Homo-oligomer: A and B are copies of this chain.
Amino acid sequence: MTEHLPIFELAQSDPVLDKATFKTQEAALRTALLSAQYQQLAQGRQSLLIVVAGIDGAGKGATINLLNEWMDPRHIRTLAFDEPDAVDRERPPMWRYWNALPPKGKTGIVFGSWYALLVREAARKRPRPERIERLAMAIRRFEAMLAAEGVHLLKLWFHLSRSAQADRLQRLLASERTSWQVTPNDHKVYKKYDRLCLGGSASIGLTDRAHARWHIIPSADDNLRSIQTAERVLEALKSRPARVQPEPAVAPPPRVAVEDRLKVNVVEELDKDEYDTQIALWQGRLARAVRSDAFKQKSLVLAFEGQDAAGKGGAIRRIANALDARQYDIHQIAAPTAEELSRPYLWRFWHRLPRHGRVGIFDRSWYGRVLVERVEQFAAPSAWRRAYEEINDFETQLAANNVIVVKFWLAIDAQEQLTRFQAREHSPFKRFKITPEDWRNRDKWDAYARAANEMFARTDQPDAPWHVIAANDKRHARLAVLKHTVLALEHAI
């Protein structure tokens, strides 16, 4: 199977660095590292994420200590991942990496990164080329997104030759002082040496991009490993990040034929009694579905978008009424906080993903990027244009990992919005819902409509569909939202 893997030679010799040279270089490097670190911190424009991978026993653990000693440890976060635990397993695999992303200005050191699965697959007796390519492509897309969002990626592969690895084991085992450093895993690793090199080679060959470069660190000699690691980190801190090389789309090409989906009309009116009955019956179905055993292995994510005053809050309350308070969260998505702004923009939504058996309701959502941020020019055109694919990736990961995703656009027309705005202004307890900003947004009605229609065209995926709901009639809208939610849920469980 190896012919499918890129040919990437890992050296079989182990260079060394003498102590005197080390001492000289150490002093200069530490000084330079600190100053570069403070500069990154002061600028606050990007974070540095150091992916640490390689052969076990090559000194990955020592690298944490090195960087924490040579740099200012207050601005470094070690992000070390083991096998996913029970909490991780209730979310898509990338969830724990997203959650841990350090803010701009800081440095993160990632152990047990998103390469673990790829290395493992490539190190199988019979690696599956399609799976390797799929894993590598997912990584490339993730890293391209990180880079575009101001995360500087530095990827280090710690390498030593098979004989150096054998020597190290023998040396450690020879003394009681050091034998504890050898774990059962080290013996396993030694046996699998060639296959792990193949895994590394695949990781490097398939994911080396200008914006996410791999570097091989020769690791048999502690001095050389320390100096080369520090040099790579220093380079990364001092260089401007490379221009992101875009990754072609995985999803079927987006529907570029943008149609106007906002002109929706209700044919029949619902009288109050009929509405009350219907709402209660569908709420009953919703309550039964979320109490079902099948839902204990699933999560439900509902995203609500729509013009101001379209009735999102009222529709959400009709859903919430059918649920146990311990089973759902309503996330009111407003302007991002400073903490949120200092991470890639999807971070705050990954962060809020519900566990199994729970419902996450988003009152406005990750679509803000291609709606308000586009129209108000908070996001650069390059940023919101790439967001469609990033959002599709996000939702595909949710759908592929037991998260049911349903998206609603509540559509009212301009006249109805005006009526509701005026009613709000005249009600002492609804006045808070209307601000000068709402009136300004209203002036941009057409720009928002264009953005919404392009959004539908580019992000209406089979496993995360958009439902455009006619919402001039509140009863109709609330009932329709409830029905779509129930049907999606019943279909999935």
Contact = CB atoms under 8 A, between A and B. Distances in A.
Interface in A245-298: 276-277, 280-281, 283-285, 287-288, 291
Interface string A164-189: 00000000000011111101000000
A320 to B, nearest CB: 6
Contacts of A277: 177
Nearest to A428: B31
A68 B314 CA distance: 10
B177 A280 contact: yes
A34 B280 contact: no
29 contacts: A27-B428, A34-B432, A38-B432, A65-B317, A68-B317, A68-B320, A68-B330, A69-B317, A73-B313, A74-B334, A78-B325, A80-B326, A80-B327, A86-B86, A86-B87, A111-B326, A112-B326, A176-B281, A176-B284, A177-B284, A178-B280, A180-B283, A180-B285, A180-B287, A180-B288, A180-B322, A181-B284, A181-B287, A183-B291
A308 interface: no
Contacts of A180: 283-285, 287-288, 322
A348 to B, nearest CB: 14
Given A78-B330, A80-B327, A177-B284, 20 more contacts: A27-B428, A27-B429, A30-B429, A31-B428, A33-B429, A34-B429, A64-B320, A65-B317, A68-B320, A68-B330, A70-B429, A74-B332, A78-B325, A82-B326, A111-B326, A179-B284, A180-B283, A180-B284, A181-B287, A339-B339
A276 to B, nearest CB: 8
Interface residues on A, range: 35 or more
Contacts of A61: 324-325
Residue in A291, A317, A325, A326 with the greatest tally of chain B CB atoms within 10 Å:
A325
Closest 8 CB pairs of A and B: A30-B429, A180-B284, A177-B280, A80-B326, A31-B428, A74-B332, A80-B325, A82-B326
Among A30, A72, A432, chain B packs the most CB atoms within 10 A around the CB of: A432
Nearest to A280: B177
Contacts of A363: 73
A156 to B, nearest CB: 14
Nearest to A332: B74
Interface in A368-386: none
Contacts of A281: 176-177
A222 interface: no
Contacts of A332: 73-74
A410 B178 CA distance: 27
A105 to B, nearest CB: 13
A432 B287 CA distance: 59
A321 B27 CA distance: 22
A329 interface: yes
A432 B326 contact: no
A81 interface: yes
Interface string A440-474: 00000000000000000000000000000000000
A60 interface: yes
Contacts of A183: 291
Contacts of A181: 284, 287
Interface string A89-130: 000000000000000000000011000000000000000000
A81 B329 CA distance: 12
A330 B73 CA distance: 9
Interface in A294-338: 313, 317, 320-322, 324-327, 329-330, 332, 334
A183 B327 CA distance: 14
A322 B61 CA distance: 10
